[in-house]
Amino acid sequence: MLASQLIQRYQEFCPPALSMEGDVSGLQIGTLNKDIKRVMVALDIRETTVAEAIDKQVDLIIVKHAPIFRPLKHLVADDLQTQICLQLIKHDIAVYVSHTDIDVLDGGLNDWFCELLGIEDTDFLHETAPGCGLGRIGSLKEQSLEELALKVKEVFDLDAVRLVAYPYHVQQPIKRVAICGGSGDSFYKDALEKGADVYITGDIYYHTGQEMLTQGLLGIDPGHHIEALFIKKIAQKLEEWKAEEAWDVEVYPSTVTTNPFRHL
């Protein structure tokens, strides 16, 4: 089948028009005008991802984070960062990026987070256009901040989570939760305005955490890498469409880790 046929089906599910202004998304490397036999789903494209794709003889990668996020100044083989792109080009591996479109999508990544954590009666955290938005806010069965944090740790198979809290907050009851995958600390004021008790998002900045506490908002920072849920869910979607439409293509969820952080 043509890569363009598979991506057309993906775009019917997740329209690129949902992407936030200035986002890097869509086809970034290679061409969709070619036959494909193997497609891989990944969160990031690093040297380990590329080696995995080459080993599996992958023709197309659907990835959440763009391999080219900032303008390239050169494409030279001696540069370890640009080698990533050169290897993809050399092995004719096309790369399609689905970034904020899958975050914004009703029934997309942020909704999958809510399902895992039992967050119900959800609404958009930050509306990006009529009827769609980034992040979610909803309710869950009352529990302490500590209980929720431990659940986040378990559900996402993490070695640790960071709390935005003072010691006396640990047993504070939580009923209303905001969540945003990736780096969402810039939307903490939306969480405040919508009555959240706690905000779950990655990469919370030191001074942002202080501001949150001053204004009465607790936080749980599970890191950026919880977005790896994208791999499992999109691979499942591709398998469903493959069965429905009799695609002659193999689907591989990436199995290498691209999380750069560990906790001792």
Q: Per residue in 137-180, pLDDT tens?
A: 999 999 999 999 999 999 999 999 999 999 999 999 999 999 99
Number of H helices, E strands in the chain: 9, 11
Let me know whether 26 and 85 are in one domain. yes
Let me know whether 173 and 81 are in one domain. no
Say how far apart CA 211 and CA 217 lie, in whole Å: 9
The CA-based dihedral angle spanning residues 212, 218, 223, 229, taken in that order and rounded to the nearest 10 degrees: -120
Indicate whether 260 pLDDT > 90.
Answer: yes
Q: Does the residue 263 lie in any domain?
A: no
Q: Does the residue 95 lie in any domain?
A: yes
Q: What is the CATH number of the domain that holds 242?
A: 3.40.1390.30
**DSSP secondary structure string for all residues of 219-253:** EEE--GGGGGHHHHHHHHHHHHHHHHHT---EEEE
Q: Does the residue 38 lie in any domain?
A: yes
The confidence score (pLDDT) of residue 130 equals: 85
SS3 164: strand
- Which structural domain, as residue segments, surrounds residue 26? 3-99+227-252
Q: Per residue in 8-40, pLDDT tens?
A: 999 999 999 999 999 989 999 999 999 999 999
Element housing 151 (H / E)? helix 145-155
Let me know whether 159 and 242 are in one domain. no
Say how far apart CA 213 and CA 254 lie, in whole Å: 38
Let me know whether 238 and 210 are in one domain. no
Let me know whether 172 and 206 are in one domain. yes
The confidence score (pLDDT) of residue 68 equals: 92
SS3 171: coil
pTM of the model: 0.96
Counting the structural domains of the chain, the total is: 2
Q: Per residue in 43-93, pLDDT tens?
A: 999 999 999 999 999 999 999 999 998 888 888 888 888 999 999 999 999
**DSSP secondary structure string for all residues of 126-142:** EEEETTEEEEEEEEEEE
The confidence score (pLDDT) of residue 254 equals: 98
Higher local confidence (pLDDT), 263 or 131: 263
Q: Does the residue 236 lie in any domain?
A: yes
Q: Does the residue 162 lie in any domain?
A: yes
Q: Does the residue 61 lie in any domain?
A: yes
Let me know whether 63 and 19 are in one domain. yes
